[in-house]
Amino acid sequence: MIKSVMVMNTQGKPRLAKFYDFQPVEKQQELIRSVFGVLCGRADNVSNFVEADSIFGPGTRLVYKHFATLYFVFVFDSSENELAMLDLIQVFVETLDKCFKNVCELDIVYNYSKLHTILDEIIFGGQVLETSSIEVIKAVEEISKLESASNAIALVSKSVSGWRSR
């Protein structure tokens, strides 16, 4: 099971932190700081796999990829395959690249809800749902269409009720 997905910049500022098992906010912040402490102390030429027993408990591992100014981190238990998790990070980043035309930190900051929608299409409740970035993009586009239609209906409804009150 995937326990957590984090995206943080190279200064340790979290841009996304999603925990799939309940953690109080203070504990989440402590875990994010601990993960960053591990990542920033690692050389560029070492493995992207880290035993995270001391941070998250026994049998927990962490895999990460460093792209430009961002670390993409997945924390998972022993039931998941490390290479599959590394590939899942790649799917997540590819999907973000396709949605935002070469994703950067500001895209993540200003499109927070879309980022969560993308992640929820890939992982839900700690389980992998979809590994195809094409399928994820289709689902995200469909959700965007539904949101746009809903907003248009709300706007028309508001205009009609405003017109009637005159």
What would the pLDDT profile of 83-110 be if each residue is shown by its tens digit?
Answer: 999 999 999 999 999 988 888 899 888 9
Structure confidence at residue 159 (pLDDT): 65
Whole-Å CA distances, 121 to 31, 44, 163: 24, 30, 40
The CATH number linked to 67 is 3.30.450.60
Structure confidence at residue 161 (pLDDT): 64
Does the pLDDT value for residue 152 go beyond 80? Answer: no
Number of domains in the chain: 1
Structure confidence at residue 117 (pLDDT): 92
For the entire predicted model, the pTM comes to 0.84
Element holding 17 (H helix, E strand): strand 14-19
Whole-Å CA distances, 150 to 1, 145, 147: 34, 9, 5
Q: Among residues of the chain, what percentage have pLDDT more than 90?
A: 58
Structure confidence at residue 131 (pLDDT): 92
39 close to 14: Cβ distance less than 8 angstroms? no
1 close to 127: Cβ distance less than 8 angstroms? yes
Element holding 149 (H helix, E strand): helix 133-164
Structure confidence at residue 102 (pLDDT): 82
First and final C-alpha spacing in the chain: 57
What range defines the domain where residue 30 resides?
2-164
What is the DSSP secondary-structure string of 63-111?
EEEEETTEEEEEEEETTS-HHHHHHHHHHHHHHHHHHHTS--HHHHHHT
Q: List pLDDT tens digits, range 8-61.
A: 999 999 999 999 999 899 999 999 999 999 998 888 888 899 888 888 889 899
